[in-house]
């Protein structure tokens, strides 16, 4: 028998963890295991998961501190399963994704035109986003700045810039709590199950911001060893 630990929560109780035992079986996914545990051990266990084929993005959870799609992750003995980070927990592993959807509105990350042919492969890759929020949950900046737009919204804005039309509204919208707040750590890229690379998109967005007349506000606070005081 193997054992996983699951973080439990509902609005009436403090968060707790329970250990659940299951027989090892090749190919068993975490989502299948959660269904089995719910059907056999605890009907109150709550989690999301619709398509079971890495398309809907609804089953993402944290496993040992890393975001994973439950429908593709193969559980191991001793795994600790938690809800996605930086989200309000509704019950057990179910989270409210309203906040991440709001980042799309705040960053004005919406499609504006048909893609131009030369960028079609890049846009196609971006379009494969399944809204799983794994990148958002992997981002360490969210721990210190809850208003950071996050990788999910920023990579969407970059997609818009590939459309080949004016998008100054989006570039304006990502200057505060956006491109310059990213540390370029790459955790979002490592977490994405779809092979999307938000870190590189954010670096490209910085270039586009400079082309639009913006500069890195962090430079304004650096002295570079020079004293500009008038005496």
- Tokens read off for 36: 């089995």
Q: Give the span between the Cα atoms of 86 and 215, in whole angstroms.
A: 29
Tokens of 89: 């927990």
State in angstroms the smallest separation of the CB of 178 from ligand SF4.
Answer: 10
Site for ligand SF4 contains 139 (CB under 6 A): yes
Q: Write the binding mask 182 to 211 for ligand SF4: x where contact by CB under 6 A, - elsewhere.
A: xxxxxxx--xx-x-x-xx--x---------
Backbone angles phi, psi at 20, to 5 degrees: -125, 130
Q: How many CA atoms lie within 13 A of 135 on its CB side?
A: 30
107-136 footprint of ligand SF4 as x/- string (CB under 6 A):
----------------------xxxxxxx-
CB of 72 vs ligand SF4, minimal distance in Å = 12
Spatial neighbors of 65 by CB under 8 A, at least 6 apart, are: 80
Phi and psi at residue 8, in whole multiples of 5°?
A: -110, 145
Provide, rounded to whole angstroms, the least separation between the CB of residue 89 and ligand SF4. Answer: 18
Q: Which is nearer to ligand SF4, 9 or 148 (CB)?
A: 148
Residues forming the site for ligand SF4 (CB under 6 A) = 57, 129-135, 138-139, 141, 151-152, 155, 182-188, 191-192, 194, 196, 198-199, 202
């Amino acid at each position: 028998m193997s054992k996983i630990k699951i973080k439990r929560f509902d609005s009436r109780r403090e968060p707790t963890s329970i250990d659940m035992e299951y027989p090892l079986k090749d190919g068993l996914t975490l989502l299948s295991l959660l269904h089995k545990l719910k059907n056999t051990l605890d009907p109150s266990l709550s989690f999301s998961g619709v398509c079971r084929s890495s398309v809907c993005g609804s089953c993402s959870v944290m496993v040992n501190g890393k975001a994973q799609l439950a429908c593709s992750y193969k559980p191991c003995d001793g795994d600790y399963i938690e809800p996605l980070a930086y989200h309000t927990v509704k019950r057990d592993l179910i989270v409210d994704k309203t906040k991440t959807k709001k980042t799309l509105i705040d960053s004005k990350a919406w499609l504006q035109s048909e893609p131009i042919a030369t960028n079609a492969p890049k846009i196609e890759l971006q379009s494969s986003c399944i809204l799983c929020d794994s990148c958002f949950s992997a981002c360490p900046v969210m721990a210190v700045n809850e208003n950071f737009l996050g990788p999910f919204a920023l990579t969407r804005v970059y997609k818009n810039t590939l459309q080949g039309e004016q998008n100054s509204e989006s570039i304006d919208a990502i200057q505060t709590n956006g491109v310059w707040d990213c540390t370029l750590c790459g955790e979002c890229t490592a977490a994405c199950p779809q092979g999307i690379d938000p870190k590189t998109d954010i670096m490209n967005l910085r270039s586009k911001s400079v082309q639009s007349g913006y500069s890195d506000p962090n430079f304004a606070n650096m002295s570079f060893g020079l004293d500009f005081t008038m005496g």
